[in-house]
Structure 1
Amino acid sequence: MARELVETVCRNVTINWIQKENVKPNLRRLVKRLLRKYGYLPDKQEKATVTVLEQAESLCKNWAA
């Protein structure tokens, strides 16, 4: 699941993706979809989604091609 999350976020980032507010909702939707796919508890999906996006921002600011 972690690999698939990383691959999904990497494929969907754009230049300056951290500052662009229109990119974040799409990434949030994709992360939530993956969490549902792997049976993540619905009441914990929001916190997990926020955590994934925060980690992506802090670790991968240069992912955009």
Structure 2
Amino acid sequence: MRDKIIEYLEKEKGMNEDALLAYTPGAITDSSEEIRIMREREAIKLRDRIYELKRHIEVIKRMYPAE
């Protein structure tokens, strides 16, 4: 059960990391300031999700160590 949960969270983290690549600063250069601000806000949300998923994974690993 532990490994299945960790596997699921790792996949979610990977999807968010892949989505974050679209928000790299050089991805869109000819956009307005408003669009750049909006994209940075979305990137911040994705980074936060990735951080939270990493925390959850670590908590599960520490609560239920591999046997």
Q: Same fold (TM over 0.5)?
A: no
TM-score when normalising by structure 1:
0.35
Q: Which has the higher contact order (CA 8 A, sep 6+)?
A: 2
TM-score when normalising by structure 2:
0.35
> Per residue, is there more helix in 1 or in 2?
2
Give 1 or 2 for the bigger CA radius of gyration.
2
